[in-house]
Homo-oligomer: A and B are copies of this chain.
Amino acid sequence: MTTDRPLRELLCTLLRLFYAKDWVGGTGGGISGVRDDGMLLVAPTGVHKELVEPRDLFVVDPKTCGVVEPSENAALKPSECSPIFAAIVRARGAGSVVHSHALSTVLAADITTDDALPIRSLEMLKGIRGLANTDVHEVPLIDNTPREAELTGAVEAACRDRRFASAHAILVRDHGAYIWGADVWEAKRHAEVYHFLFEAVRLRKER
């Protein structure tokens, strides 16, 4: 399939950008994108994300989580967060999901033992689709699990929860965040905005 080449290249370019921002260091984190045919491109697991090339990606069916087209590199396996990427695509119609391992996501989640992190009084809230800067924006916050795929149930519950209808991110305590958008560029914008919001909330709290 030649038509997904630009999407593959864009995902790899963004992995290098996110690596430079310290969001996907130590081989953690990643990004996925939905093709025109509804199939999901995901990076391999356990690789240095800044070095991923277009041909390394897997094609996964978000309905079944099955691999429909393997990486050209037979030694690779698809990202362990593929089931979560797929769940968010199904539940929210996301066109792209970012998984961040940024330290700012962990420290923001530390602020509260509640199941949501409220964010308020920041113009940057407008950077999330549908929000006003006067909103109190509740980001769902779930507990970490020993295996990443075990997060899927809690991710699906957060996606269904009416309190979080406007959220485009889920924080995972001690772990990171899933951030999505209607397409790759909106996911990138949302990722930049949420990282700003998380850091702002933390630094305001510590004041």
Q: Interface residues, chain A, CB within 8 Å of chain B?
A: 25-28, 48, 101, 103, 106-107, 110, 121-124, 126-127, 132-134, 144, 146, 172, 174-176, 185, 188-190, 192-193, 196, 199-200, 203-204, 206-207
- Roughly how many angstroms separate A204 CA and B106 CA in the complex, as a whole number? 10
In the assembled complex, how far is the CB of residue A183 from the closest CB belonging to chain B, in whole angstroms? 12
Point out the residue from B48, B110, B121, B193 that lies within 8 Å of A26, measured CB to CB: B193
* CB-based contact A110/B185 at 8 Å: no
Q: How far is the CA of A121 from the CA of B110 in the complex (A)?
A: 11
Question: Chain B CB within 10 Å — which of A25, A101, A134 has the most?
Answer: A25
Query: Given A133-B144, A196-B25, A196-B26, is A123 in contact with B189 using a C-beta cutoff of 8 Å?
Result: no
Q: Which residues of B contact A206 (CB under 8 A)?
A: 207
Q: How far is the CA of A126 from the CA of B172 in the complex (A)?
A: 15
On whether the beta carbons of A28 and B123 are closer than 8 Å, the reply is yes
How many chain copies does the complex carry?
4
A174 touching B26 in the complex, CB below 8 Å, given contacts A146-B132, A146-B134, A207-B206: no
**Docked complex Cα distance between A121 and B193 (Å):** 26
Q: B192–A124 contact, CB under 8 A?
A: no
Judging by beta carbons under 8 Å apart, are B103 and A196 in contact? yes
A175 touches B127 (CB 8 A): no
Q: Say how far A83's CB is from chain B's closest CB, in angstroms.
A: 16
A23 to chain B, nearest CB (A): 11
Chain B, residue nearest A121 (CB): B174
B26 touches A124 (CB 8 A): yes
Which chain B positions have C-beta within 8 A of A172?
123
What is the minimal beta-carbon distance from A136 to any residue of chain B, in angstroms? 13
Verify A107–B204 contact, CB threshold 8 A: yes
Q: Is the CB of B25 within 8 A of A192?
A: yes
Flag if B188 contacts A48 (CB, 8 Å).
yes
CB contacts (< 8 Å) of A132 on chain B: these are 146
5 interchain pairs, CB-CB under 8 A:
A28-B126, A48-B188, A101-B124, A106-B200, A134-B146
